[in-house]
């Protein structure tokens, strides 16, 4: 999907995602000391808004201007910097203590570019948190994209970052409840060395 397709998707719905932060983002970062954060491929900004309300100085970047406009409205007076940008071309080196990439849906080459850009945006000691639809969700879970090209595993994420210096905090498949069903996500949390 390109920016126009995502603009159309965001324009067709009140909120594509919930206004609440992703359950894994909230769990992993609930006790994190606020600093400068980037929500890359932020969509409507639910994670960015949550972080800002917890004291972070946040930039929300997405290539859908419609999603960002909806996020700005949802945020109200919560201070978030909204930037229309392609995650694969993001270029703010060593600017953030935290980068969140949640449910990015790109094929492997573009995903690799976006994740390496996210990593490059971290200061030394900064945290990268990636949450995505796991490849196994297609056969074993519920919901999510049905295109296997945009699904990934924790090993895929680590492979995309091969050659870079970091310590892995978590890299695994995690279950997410969707009503009475289970969706499978991959979760990677690492710290840049």
Q: Which CATH superfamily includes the segment(s) 3-165?
A: Vaccinia Virus protein VP39 (3.40.50.150)
> Do the beta carbons of residue 100 and residue 40 sit within 8 Å?
yes
The tokens 């994740």 sit on which residue? 115
Look up residue 56 and give its two tokens. Answer: 């972070």
Question: What pLDDT shows up at residue 69?
Answer: 93
Spans of the chain, pLDDT less than 50:
none
CA 38: distance to chain centroid? 9
User: What pLDDT digit, counting tens, does each position of 23-76 carry?
Assistant: 999 999 999 999 999 999 999 999 999 999 999 999 999 999 999 999 999 999
């Amino acid at each position: 999907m390109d920016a126009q397709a995502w603009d159309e998707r965001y324009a067709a719905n009140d909120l594509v995602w919930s206004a609440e932060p992703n359950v894994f983002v909230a769990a992993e970062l609930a006790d994190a000391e606020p600093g400068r954060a980037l929500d890359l491929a932020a969509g409507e900004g639910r994670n960015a808004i949550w972080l800002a309300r917890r004291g972070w100085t946040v930039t929300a970047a997405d290539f859908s201007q419609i999603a960002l406009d909806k996020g700005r409205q949802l945020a109200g007076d919560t201070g978030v910097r909204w930037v229309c940008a392609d995650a694969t071309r993001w270029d703010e080196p060593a600017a953030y203590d935290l980068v969140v990439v949640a449910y990015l849906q790109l094929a492997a080459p573009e995903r690799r570019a976006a994740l390496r850009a996210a990593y490059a945006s971290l200061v030394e000691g900064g945290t990268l948190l990636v949450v995505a639809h796991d490849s196994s969700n297609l056969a074993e879970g519920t919901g999510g994209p049905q295109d296997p090209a945009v699904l990934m595993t924790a090993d895929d994420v680590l492979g995309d970052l091969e050659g870079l210096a970091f310590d892995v905090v978590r890299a695994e498949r995690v279950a997410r409840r969707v009503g009475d069903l289970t969706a499978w996500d991959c979760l990677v949390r690492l710290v840049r060395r």
